[in-house]
């Protein structure tokens, strides 16, 4: 779970673990402890997790300042409390059920949609993006003088969850109030509102991801993580010019997947 570990000499012939191996062993133990706490709700700080969710919208920098504090006090950047993950899962379930209701899906279709959103949209895509960002950050963004440190995969997944939450709320909750009566009306106002929500949601994902990696002091040139804003804005402009409704495409895809 540690996003940074020291890289020293390999293990000696006497069987003593190197600093890197010891760090990995410690990280493995912390991951085990984290997963075990998933079933101990009384040990979770849901109030603090809710605070983080609020500030991911209003001031995401404050969330990552708390990550700095955790590094100083517990010697790890990533969360050691699964309360955030539990609350995010609840949000996923509730918002997806609402999505199914708005799209007039039946019970079993809604269950299929829920499974798709949880295991494909959140977990599957999250594993892919986290792994990609973990590779890119370690390969190209670590400062030359900080080669003794690396970004752990667990922290990369934590950053993804932070960025995914605002996107989820915008596209799977706020958007629900506009889908049937505004967004899916096949008018310019419809795809203007819908595509603008997509622009804000994806833009927020990019920005929160950038904040997550820029919070690590041993990384350089993290501003390149903001470069996807350029093609995003270009795609947004093209979609308005061509009348391409992102939400209509998403709804059609969801209905196709649950058949």
pTM check: above 0.75:
yes
Cα 4 from chain centre: 19
pLDDT value, residue 2:
41
* Mean pLDDT value of segment 172-186: 93
Q: For residues 196 and 157, which has the higher predicted lDDT (pLDDT)? A: 196
pLDDT value, residue 1:
44
pLDDT at 141 over 60: yes
Question: Are residues 205 and 167 in contact, defined by beta-carbon separation less than 8 angstroms?
Answer: yes
Question: Are residues 10 and 18 in contact, defined by beta-carbon separation less than 8 angstroms?
Answer: yes
81-139 pLDDT, tens digit each: 888 989 999 999 999 999 999 999 999 999 999 999 988 988 899 999 999 999 999 99
Distance (Å, whole) CA 135 – CA 121: 21
* Mean pLDDT value of segment 34-39: 66
Residue in the block written with tokens 């085990």: 32
pLDDT value, residue 179:
94
162-175 pLDDT, tens digit each: 999 999 999 999 99
pLDDT value, residue 137:
94
Question: Are residues 164 and 16 in contact, defined by beta-carbon separation less than 8 angstroms?
Answer: no
Q: For residues 155 and 239, which has the higher predicted lDDT (pLDDT)? A: 239
pLDDT value, residue 235:
97
185-222 pLDDT, tens digit each: 989 999 999 999 999 999 999 999 999 999 999 999 99
Question: Are residues 239 and 174 in contact, defined by beta-carbon separation less than 8 angstroms?
Answer: no
59-87 pLDDT, tens digit each: 999 998 888 777 777 777 777 788 898 99
Closest-CA residue to 206 (of 157, 154, 167): 167
Closest-CA residue to 123 (of 170, 89, 171): 89
Distance (Å, whole) CA 190 – CA 197: 11
pLDDT at 142 over 60: yes
pLDDT value, residue 152:
79
Which residues lie below 8 Å from residue 170, measured CB to CB, with a gap of 6+? 197, 200, 201, 204
Q: Which two tokens stand for residue 45?
A: 């700080």
With bands split at pLDDT 50, 70 and 90, how would you rate the model's confidence at 37? Answer: low
Distance (Å, whole) CA 127 – CA 240: 31
Q: For residues 40 and 203, which has the higher predicted lDDT (pLDDT)? A: 203
With bands split at pLDDT 50, 70 and 90, how would you rate the model's confidence at 17? Answer: very low
pLDDT value, residue 26:
62
């Amino acid at each position: 779970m540690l996003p940074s570990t020291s890289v020293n000499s390999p293990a000696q012939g006497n069987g003593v673990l190197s600093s890197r191996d010891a760090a990995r062993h410690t990280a493995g133990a912390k991951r085990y402890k984290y997963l075990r706490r998933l079933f101990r709700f009384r040990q979770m700080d849901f109030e603090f997790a809710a605070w983080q969710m609020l500030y991911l919208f209003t001031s995401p920098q404050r969330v990552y300042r708390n990550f700095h504090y955790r590094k100083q006090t517990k010697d790890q950047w990533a969360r050691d409390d699964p309360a955030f993950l539990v609350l995010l899962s609840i949000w996923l379930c509730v918002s997806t059920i609402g999505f199914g209701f708005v799209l007039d899906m039946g019970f079993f279709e809604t269950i299929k949609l829920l499974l798709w959103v949880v295991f494909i949209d959140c977990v599957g895509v999250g594993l892919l993006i986290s792994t990609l960002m973990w590779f890119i950050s370690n390969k190209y963004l670590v400062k030359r003088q900080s080669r003794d440190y690396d970004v752990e995969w667990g922290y990369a997944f934590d950053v993804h969850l932070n960025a995914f939450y605002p996107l989820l709320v915008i596209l799977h909750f706020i958007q629900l109030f506009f889908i049937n009566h505004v967004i899916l009306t096949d008018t310019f106002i419809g795809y203007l509102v819908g595509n603008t929500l997509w622009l804000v949601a994806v833009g927020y994902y990019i920005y929160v991801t950038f904040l997550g990696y820029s919070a690590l002091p041993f990384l350089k040139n993290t501003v390149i993580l903001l470069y996807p804003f350029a093609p995003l804005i270009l795609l947004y402009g093209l979609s308005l010019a061509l009348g391409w409704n992102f939400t209509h495409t998403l709804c059609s895809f969801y209905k196709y997947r649950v058949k």
